[in-house]
Amino acid sequence: MSKTLRYAIGSLVGVVAAAIAVHAQRPADAPPATPFDVVEKTIFDLKNAMDARQATSRQIVEQYLERIKAYDQAGPRINAFILVNPRALEAADALDAERRAGKVRGPLHGIPIVLKDNYATADMPTTAGSLALEGFQTGRDAFMVKKLRDAGAVFIGKTNLHELAYGITSISSMGGQTRNPYDPTRNPGGSSGGTGAAVAANFAAAGMGTDTCGSIRNPSADNNLFGLRGTLGLSSREGIVPLSHTQDIGGPLARTVTDLMLMLDATVGFDPADPLTKASNGRIPRTFLSSVGDSSLGDVHIGVLTTLFGSAPEDTEVADIVRRAVAMLGRMGARVSDVTIPDFDELIQGTSVLSAEFKFDLLDFLVKYPKAPVRSLDEILNRGLYSTAIDGVLRRSNAVESRETEAYRAALTKRDVARERIVAAMVSQGITALAYPTLRRKPALIGEPQAGSNCQLSATTGLPAMSIPAGFTSDGLPIGMDLLGGEFGEQALLKIAYAYERETQPRRPPSSTP
């Protein structure tokens, strides 16, 4: 256990003890002592309970903290957290005081959420899962963190991730291995696996992750959640420890589509510090929640991207589950047809630039923080401050000698061609969204590699993709389906997901964290 985590848990014990003492002295008009049950409650459920004085933010936070104590560091030991916020109850108290004074900031006022630990936070360390950044105090919030704080969210803790967001099984030198609450012998997806596991296990109402190539969608698929990678430019990356500046984006993971939309409303929009967000001006609805309309899918055309369903025997189980989910959309009124994009594999191959960009993007990030404990990827490698699980990818990135190489420029050019052809294919056939498995294989056993990722299509094109729950395997493991839409087509994806959720009620909580 890291020093940071020991400190957080020790502080938390003292805070909870104080909370118990204070509870007996609550005024007569305080909410009833009988705890409001937070399990599987939506953001609106929690908001309504606070509005009706059935619960306070403090009481809600206390319940989540008890669940973390019982199931994250004990019981199945999900190990979703790097840091449990020792000041979460203090934040809840301040927001409760605002509510009593008649000030409610919005639907997230007093709502506990989790943050992936590559989001800079002014009041907590930001480690990106690496011992190289242990104790790293940025002194300021990432853009989206500030927006959430201003909206009244309570940060209950910072979650584990695949170290430096460079992998999809969520193991790190700072946080260890996060486990899948649906089967603790398996990984939770990644790199935002701690967020996915925490939200699935009801350790918070919702959470924030980042997606460079599947890192929001993979853990959403593996944890029976909804997760959105938006159009590149939908939300600011300022203050997020980078992996690839041409592929990174942050976004929410949630148990319901409504919760996801509420988190989106609080976090998207223009940020002068991230020039890419200028593209979002005039293309974001007043609220996503008010833009989904009714549940009719008569104007929706789902293109089943057969190439990404796989052809190996090991792909069959997931492919069948996803095809059943697509068939359900057809029964709900959507037009469904198989789609083949000529030379698709060749179009996508060679368009990833993670190795080319990471070393230099990390360098640019660290130089903004003079007190950062390390200054470069080379220093991290030389000091051995990382998990051996990422040794290979770090060394490949560190071997890149120049920001601008012929191979890098060729990859970016190829990416542009791929985007043009895929967009043209969708437009010419009137396709609202392409559908395919988020991952072609179910969550791998811990210690084994995770095969079957379909992450690159959205990362290459910059188009939005949303993972929605497609069903479960015969042994009870969640499977996800990606829906990829047009540029700033998030509303269409959310409309499909919202209607699908209402019709199928796909949410099933994990039995390991009752």
- pLDDT tens digit string along 439-461? 999 999 999 999 999 999 999 99
Question: Residue 378: inside a domain, yes or no?
Answer: no
Question: Residue 513: inside a domain, yes or no?
Answer: no
248, 311: one domain: no
191, 233: one domain: yes
156, 61: one domain: yes
Question: Residue 356: inside a domain, yes or no?
Answer: no
Question: Residue 367: inside a domain, yes or no?
Answer: no
Q: How far apart are CA 133 and CA 131, in angstroms?
A: 5
Task: Say how far residue 430 (Cα) sits from the centre of its chain.
Answer: 30
Whichever domain contains 45, its CATH number is 3.90.1300.10
Domain that residue 484 falls in = 301-350+405-504
Task: Tell me the H-state helices in 192-256.
Answer: 193-200, 217-222
3-state secondary structure 225-243: CEEEECCCCCCCCCCECCC
Cα Rg, the chain, nearest whole Å = 22
474-490 confidence digits (pLDDT tens): 999 999 999 999 999 99
Q: How far apart are CA 139 and CA 384, in angstroms?
A: 26
* pTM greater than the 0.95 cutoff: no
pLDDT above 80: residue 3: no
Q: How far apart are CA 200 and CA 55, in angstroms?
A: 22
Q: Determine which one of 2, 215, 236, 397 is catalytic.
A: 215
pLDDT above 60: residue 352: yes
Q: How many residues appear in the chain?
A: 514
Task: For residue 335, list its beta bridge partners.
Answer: 301
413, 346: one domain: yes
269, 310: one domain: no
Domain count, the chain: 2
275, 317: one domain: no
- Over range 273-278, report the average pLDDT: 98
For tokens 């969210």, name the residue: 153
277, 333: one domain: no
Question: Which has the closest alpha carbon to 493: 300, 256, 307, 267?
Answer: 300
Q: Which two tokens stand for residue 99?
A: 């509510």
Q: How far apart are CA 216 and CA 480, in angstroms?
A: 12
157, 196: one domain: yes
Catalytic site residue 191?
A: yes
- Per-residue confidence at 10, pLDDT binned at 50, 70, 90? very low
- How far apart, in Å, are the Cα atoms of 253 and each of 1, 192, 197, 216, 399? 26, 9, 10, 7, 34
173, 209: one domain: yes
324, 420: one domain: yes
Question: Residue 385: inside a domain, yes or no?
Answer: no
**Per-residue b/e over 328-337, b at no fewer than 16 CB within 10 Å?**
bbeebebbbe
More confident residue, 294 or 124: 124
- Per-residue confidence at 22, pLDDT binned at 50, 70, 90? very low
Residue 451: burial class (beta carbons within 10 Å; 0-12, 13-18, 19+): middle
Please give the pLDDT value at position 33. Answer: 52
239, 336: one domain: no
409-449 confidence digits (pLDDT tens): 999 999 999 999 999 999 999 999 999 999 999 999 999 99
Question: Residue 368: inside a domain, yes or no?
Answer: no
Q: Determine which one of 2, 41, 47, 116 is catalytic.
A: 116
Which amino acid appears at position 47 of this protein? K
Q: Determine which one of 170, 191, 355, 397 is catalytic.
A: 191
Question: Residue 362: inside a domain, yes or no?
Answer: no
Catalytic site residue 116?
A: yes
Please give the pLDDT value at position 6. Answer: 43
- Cα atoms found within 13 Å of the Cα of residue 128, Cβ hemisphere only: 27
108, 220: one domain: yes
For tokens 């605002």, name the residue: 98
Q: Do 217 and 463 touch, CB atoms closer than 8 A?
A: no
